[in-house]
């Protein structure tokens, strides 16, 4: 079917989903309100959403879904709207989904693609916030600042037990799994700010990303090679079926003498946390910094009293810089799609 550009008589209907944490770019917001019929999502759960998608329902003629703001903020954090089970209720008019953030593991991409629905994320919009979080977690994995803060508040003398346990990251090897926007920024900050050496593992070598780092970085042909050579490992890769528990017992056993440090700012299910806790007991792992967790929301009870590990409640993205980028990226995609027939940052490809 030939694509017909947007006209005043054919305003697309966009379902806007946003939580309590969102910025408004007023010039753009005023423009999109003129270009689109905007419905605001207010369902109590995904089941009600499905009912509203049915013929005659409030959302039965939507052309796009735009989900902006902090995806993990209330009140819709637990509303998973892009699964295969929900997608079977989508009306035929729905052709575009745009959702804020880098990750897209909550969307059933195969199903959406078969249905002819473009799915877009907003890459490189929260890079600075997440990379800064990673840098903090790297430092804390080496210097155990979480334990030190606990001591400052509760038992000053206990902090002296850190004397022979902490070390600076200067000159040590940082292994980055996933040299995308965020991984590249982490590499640059760690090399230029902390004086760390760098290596990385991707599915394939990326010479352009290596150039963007602005420091020497070596490519590892396998995850095993990276683990054997790294003093600290940062996960900055997507979560897929093939990367589920990519770090588990076998991988932790590859740690060099003296152990490795583990930092995860990507997705919790990349790590088998039971195996990670055991690796700490076995001294295969000597420092941990986690912003994401295997069974969110909440953390593994093994971390609850362990102040030698730094655990955050998936707030790496949490910055007004991110919300502004999310808002722009989401509406830029919607405007481009209805103006030209193709969005700007699609994850999938629709023929």
Q: Is 160 a catalytic residue?
A: no
Measured in Å, how far apart are the chain's first and last C-alpha atoms? 11
Q: At what angle do helices 145-154 and 127-143 cross, to 10 degrees?
A: 70
Structure tokens at 294: 């295997």
DSSP structural state of residue 94: -
Catalytic residue among 104, 209, 267, 269: 267
Give ∠ CA 230-158-283 in degrees, rounded to 5.
Answer: 30
Q: How far apart are CA 149 and CA 304, in angstroms?
A: 15
DSSP structural state of residue 271: B
Closest CA to 233 of 289, 156, 170, 191: 289
Q: At what angle do helices 127-143 and 320-340 cross, to 10 degrees?
A: 150
Give ∠ CA 36-318-25 in degrees, rounded to 5.
Answer: 30
Q: Is 314 a catalytic residue?
A: yes
Q: Is 89 a catalytic residue?
A: no
CA-CA-CA-CA dihedral for 167, 172, 175, 179, to nearest 10: 110
Catalytic residue among 71, 284, 314, 327: 314
Does an H or E element contain 45, and which? none
Pairing of strands 232-235, 218-219: unpaired
Supply the residues annotated as catalytic.
267, 296, 314
């Amino acid at each position: 079917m030939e694509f017909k550009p947007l006209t005043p008589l054919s305003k697309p209907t966009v379902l806007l989903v946003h939580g309590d944490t969102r910025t408004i770019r007023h010039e753009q917001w005023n423009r999109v309100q003129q270009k689109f019929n905007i419905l605001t999502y207010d369902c109590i759960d995904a089941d009600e959403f499905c009912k509203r998608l049915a013929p005659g329902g409030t959302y039965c003629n939507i052309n796009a879904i735009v989900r902006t703001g902090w995806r993990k903020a209330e009140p819709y954090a637990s509303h998973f709207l892009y699964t295969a089970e929900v997608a079977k209720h989508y009306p035929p008019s729905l052709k575009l989904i745009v959702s804020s953030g880098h990750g897209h593991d909550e969307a059933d991409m195969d199903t959406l693609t078969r249905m002819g629905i473009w799915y877009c994320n907003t890459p490189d919009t929260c890079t600075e916030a997440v990379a800064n979080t990673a840098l903090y977690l790297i430092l804390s994995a080496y210097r155990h600042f979480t334990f030190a803060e606990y001591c400052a508040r509760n038992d000053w003398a206990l902090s002296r037990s850190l004397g022979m346990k902490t070390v600076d990251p200067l000159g040590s090897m940082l292994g980055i799994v996933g040299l995308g926007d965020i991984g590249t920024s982490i590499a640059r900050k760690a090399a230029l700010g902390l004086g760390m050496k760098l290596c990385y593992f991707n599915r394939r070598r990326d010479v352009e990303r290596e150039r963007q780092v602005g420091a020497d970085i070596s490519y590892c042909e396998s995850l095993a090679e990276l683990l054997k050579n790294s003093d600290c490992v940062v996960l900055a890769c997507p979560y897929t079926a093939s990367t589920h528990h990519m770090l588990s017992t076998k991988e932790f056993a590859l740690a060099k003498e003296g152990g490795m440090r583990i930092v995860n700012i990507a997705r919790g299910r990349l790590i088998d946390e039971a195996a990670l806790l055991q690796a700490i007991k076995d001294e295969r792992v000597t420092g941990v910094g986690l912003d994401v967790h295997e069974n969110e929301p909440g953390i593994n009870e093994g971390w609850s009293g362990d102040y030698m590990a730094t655990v955050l409640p998936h707030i790496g993205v949490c910055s007004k810089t991110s919300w502004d980028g999310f808002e722009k990226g989401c509406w830029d995609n919607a405007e481009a799609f209805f103006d030209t027939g193709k969005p700007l940052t699609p994850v999938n490809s629709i023929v």
